Amino acid sequence: MKHVKCARCIRCGKEYEATPNVTTCDCGGILDIIYDYDYIQANFTKETLKNRQDPTMWRYRELLPVEESTEAPPLRVGGSPLYEEPRLAAQLGLKKLWVKDDGLNPTASLKDRASAMAVAKAREAGAEVIACSSTGNAASSLAGNAAAAGLKTYIFVPSRAPKGKVAQLMTFGATVISVQGTYEDTFELSKAAIDRWGWYNRNAAINPYLSEGKKTVALEIMEQLNWQVPDYIAISVGDGCTIAGLWKGLKDLHAIGFIDRLPRLISAQAAGCCPLNRAIAENKPWEPMEENTLADSIAVGVPRNAEKALMAIRESNGLVVNVTDEEIMAAQKLLGRTCGVFGEPAGVTGTAGVKKLCEQGAIGANDTVVSVVTGNGLKDVANAIAACGEPISIPSDMELLLKAFADKGIDLQ
């Protein structure tokens, strides 16, 4: 890869050749892919992009760590809409607000960006089996992207994973191990199995290519905004791989001169499970927390990308915000009703965070904000119904309809 220099340990700085199987550093630190920005700048311009038809994440190939000869995996990942939301902005008291709906990816979450990259790298490695552990979305997205590419998957999920995600896994033909325990327990078993059988490892903390896939959400947001940098980008945080990827993408664009400043990140976590935000707020090392939230995708008590995530929040001079499950459910309703965007609980946590920061006056009237919705609400219908209520249920009878409307105070004359 002419545009990639190496994989460098973020802890001790040791450098490795960036082969598909590079894992963690000898010191235990996680690796970061280092690019030759001079080379990229000489070969990649905004004009190149303007003339490119491909709407997927692979339109940014010059900034992705794949060989020139590597085929893009089959599913159409990326190219999700960025909606300007003036009514929601007005309600929250913001100057401008955009919602990036990444729940519209093929398996309905932002994780597809990482899984497509995992499939590309597994192919480069000549692997035929990929494995991961996941709270649910990394799993279903890996299963889908691998199925499309003809690869076999072994997937470890905690038994609490919502049915919609498990249904996806079974449909995509993964061998699914539902671990009776926490996400931490799930991760440990997957790690032992991967060591034992030598499968390609899609675990986001171990594989440095995954946040490179996720960074395409930042590249897309900036291109969709015509390179006009917002003041803030808000996103929900579990393991921390997503926010780290978001930041990497922004820094890449800054390094090659596509954007002239960097936004501040907003790291949104659930109040019942916020080890990374707590570490920032109290300015001390992170410590494990219980996984106490209905937002299953970010119920991560032992974050696997803590170092990269904390670095991203700190470097961006970011804000941290913790929201309760009630605030998450309210945001789900608000996004649905004001924007027509249906997010799963973890998907809307960033927006819940923006709302809370507006109410606290931490951000406001002069600020421009992008809020990323990271996963689709159809993955977890039970929680959506809990948040938004049940429909009017009656037999087919006009008298009963009139009565039901009257009971609800719906006045149609």
Interface pattern 193-222 for ligand PLP (x via CB under 6 A): -----------x------------------
325 counts as binding ligand PLP under rule CB under 6 A: no
**Residue 298 DSSP code:** G
Task: Give residue number: closest CB to ligand PLP.
Answer: 375
**β strands within 195-346, DSSP E:** 200-201, 232-236, 264-270, 319-323
User: In the window 114-153, what residues touch ligand PLP (CB under 6 A)?
Assistant: 137
9 counts as binding ligand PLP under rule CB under 6 A: no
Q: Rg for the chain (alpha carbons), in Å?
A: 21
Determine the interface stretch with ligand PLP among 150-158, 177-185, 264-272, 293-301 (rule: CB under 6 A): 293-301
Q: Which residues pair with 399 in a beta bridge?
A: none
Q: 137 or 224, CB closer to ligand PLP?
A: 137
Smallest gap, in angstroms, from Cβ of residue 312 to ligand PLP?
10
237 counts as binding ligand PLP under rule CB under 6 A: yes
What stretch of H or E contains 101? Answer: strand 96-101
236 counts as binding ligand PLP under rule CB under 6 A: yes
| Number of Cα atoms under 13 Å in the Cβ half of residue 108 | 19
What stretch of H or E contains 31? Answer: strand 31-35
Distance CA 93, CA 38 (A): 41
Q: Which of 56, 80, 107, 109 binds ligand PLP (CB under 6 A)?
A: 109
Is 122 in contact with 104 (CB distance < 8 Å)? no
Sign of CA dihedral 169, 171, 177, 179: positive
239 counts as binding ligand PLP under rule CB under 6 A: yes
What stretch of H or E contains 47? Answer: helix 46-50
Q: 3 or 308, CB closer to ligand PLP?
A: 308
Q: Which of 111, 121, 165, 248 binds ligand PLP (CB under 6 A)?
A: 111
Q: Which two tokens stand for residue 386?
A: 């809990």
238 counts as binding ligand PLP under rule CB under 6 A: yes
Smallest gap, in angstroms, from Cβ of residue 114 to ligand PLP?
8
Determine the interface stretch with ligand PLP among 61-69, 173-181, 240-248, 257-265 (rule: CB under 6 A): 240-248
Contacts of residue 179, defined as CB under 8 A and 6 or more positions apart, other chains included, come to 133, 156, 157, 158, 159, 185, 186, 189
Cα 19 to chain centroid distance, Å, stands at: 24
Q: 130 or 372, CB closer to ligand PLP?
A: 372
DSSP structure string for 174-196:
-EEEEESS-HHHHHHHHHHHHHH
Smallest gap, in angstroms, from Cβ of residue 298 to ligand PLP?
5
Smallest gap, in angstroms, from Cβ of residue 274 to ligand PLP?
12
Determine the interface stretch with ligand PLP among 68-76, 217-225, 236-244, 330-338 (rule: CB under 6 A): 236-244
Smallest gap, in angstroms, from Cβ of residue 87 to ligand PLP?
24
Q: Which of 374, 380, 383, 384 binds ligand PLP (CB under 6 A)?
A: 374
166 counts as binding ligand PLP under rule CB under 6 A: no
Determine the interface stretch with ligand PLP among 8-16, 69-77, 343-351, 395-403 (rule: CB under 6 A): 343-351
Distance CA 161, CA 380 (A): 9
The CA-atom distances, in angstroms, between 113 and each of 153, 248, 254, 297 are: 17, 14, 21, 16
Scan for tokens 């597994």, then name that residue: 122
**β strands within 203-259, DSSP E:** 232-236
Binding region for ligand PLP (CB under 6 A) = 109, 111, 137, 204, 236-242, 297-298, 300, 344, 346-347, 374-375
